[in-house]
Structure 1
Amino acid sequence: MQDLLLSLLEDGSISIANFLLDNYAKLGMTNDEFLLYLQIKKEQSRGNSFPQMDKLADSLGMTSQNLFSTIQALQDKKILEIKQRKDDQGRLTDFYDFSLLYQKMIALFDNKVEETEKVATAKQENNIYDQIQIEFGRPLSPIEIETISQWIDTDHFSYDLIRLALKEAVLNQAYNLKYMDRILLNWQQRHLTTPAQVENSLNSRTTSQDTSSSNKDNQKKHIQIPLVKLTKDN
């Protein structure tokens, strides 16, 4: 997946301007280095894979010495490489290659995604604690907080599954974690691992109970009441 993304970045199939604009400093680039990158990419988009130094210096308002130092700095930071490849006539030509920069960008993006997921997970966990406290009408004890953490970290019960267990406990007026724990364990033993599976099981149970109750009512209706002879024989 990362190889595909790197290939798309190199080909220009994915726009990276906004992401790089927001994060070039985190990637270790100075303002001048970032502007040089943009200038080189502009020239490459026009078919000039290795723009001349004097042209770059003039576009950026730099001296040739400053431009050379900036290019050298990008190479030292493993952001830019100068490579060679054969042209259509088989001649070796130089070109600026930013593959190392794109690899750094992918790593930074992955870290940002991971951080976002951690924040979202922490938020969901806090919401679970809050919901249970609200339904129980009291603060959770340290032991109860540890129990919930074990459900999440050790038993790997999903947040939605814990919410369903809480719902069942409230419906049965059992405001304690032991009851919820038995519910979760029961679902685990029955291999009910998703909210959809649990909901289907609960619906099936309700339907079965309704059917059983209906059958009992019908049986009562069909009980034969013996006729009693009200007159005496003479």
Structure 2
Amino acid sequence: MDWNAPYLDHKIWILDHLEQLHCEPKEALVLLLIDLYNDLRQPIHHEEIAQKLGIDTDEVESLFLSLADKEYLRIAYQEGIIKFDIEGVYAQRLKQDPSQHRSLIEEFEAEFRRPLSSMEMERILQLGDEYEPRMVICALNEAAVYDKRNLNYIENILLSWRQKGLSVEEVESGKR
């Protein structure tokens, strides 16, 4: 999944992953406001964020520092303007996920031939945590053979294999 892909709504992604980001409520609101202002290509000012949140500018500065400490926010001066980059929010999430999970998402997107929704991505990551990623890929391939490319079907395949007590090696070798 590419944070800068046009189909990815950062605000929805942030809201969907709040519990994993370990942000204070005001920090989350600041991230959402920064993303909104970036989408609208509007300059970001401490005073405006303070007014929106009903806090003073010192607290906004403190929130910026806290988000920077968590590596969620990077503020840079480029081409005469201040840039607020929150790509670190997504990068931190990737650091928490094993690299296999990223390849799982890529495998599903390639097989489904479309971008996945954030809900689908989360569900795939959960399957990767619950089952061995190789087993999930085998179930994806099995579903593709029968032209049943949907997560419910894939999850039923995995449940069936689990009930039969099949290992990844057995599934990969064709034992069903």
Structures share a fold, TM > 0.5? yes
Determine the structure 1 residue equivalent to 2:55. 62
Counterpart of 2:81 in structure 1 is: 93
Query: Which stretches in structure 1 are left out of the alignment for 5+ residues?
Result: 87-91, 130-147, 164-234
Do 1:124 and 1:159's aligned partners in 2 also have CA atoms closer than 8 Å? no
Return the offset for 1:124: 4.0
Conserved 8 A contact 2:11-2:35:
no
Q: 1:107 to 1:16 in 2, by over 3 A?
A: farther
Distance in 2 (alpha carbons) for counterparts of 1:127 and 1:115: 19
Which residue of the partner structure matches residue 93 of structure 2? 105
Q: TM-score scaled to structure 1, two decimals? A: 0.47
Q: Aligned equivalents of 2:18 and 2:129: distance in 1?
A: 24
Aligned length: 128
Q: Is 1:82–1:95's contact at 8 Å kept on the other side of the alignment?
A: yes
Could you tell me how far 1:97 is from its partner in structure 2?
A: 0.7
Which of 150, 154, 162 pairs up with 1:126? 162
Flag structure 2 segments of 5+ consecutive residues without an equivalent: 103-121, 136-157
* Runs of 4+ residues deviating >6 angstroms: none
- Asked if residue 78 in structure 1 is aligned to residue 71 in structure 2, the reply is yes
* Cα gap change, 1:94 to 1:16, in 2 (>3 Å): closer
Q: Between the two proteins, what is the percent identity of the paired residues? A: 15
- Secondary structure of 2:8's match? coil
- The equivalent residue for 1:157 is 170
SS at match of 2:47: helix
Q: 1:98 to 1:55 in 2, by over 3 A?
A: same
Aligned residue identity for 1:128: K
CA RMSD of aligned residues (A): 2.7
1:44-87 deviations in Å (ceiling 9; x for gaps): 22221x4111111001111112111111100111100101221x
For 2:30 and 2:129, the matched residues in 1 are separated by 35
Query: Larger Rg: 1 or 2?
Result: 1
Query: Relative contact order: is structure 1 or structure 2 higher (C-alpha 8 Å, sep ≥ 6)?
Result: 2
8 A Cα contact 1:28 1:77, kept in partner: no
CA distance 1:37–1:107, change in 2 (3 Å): same
Q: Distance in 1 between matches of 2:41 and 2:78?
A: 14
- What is the letter of the counterpart of residue 38 of structure 2? Q
AA matched with 1:116:
L
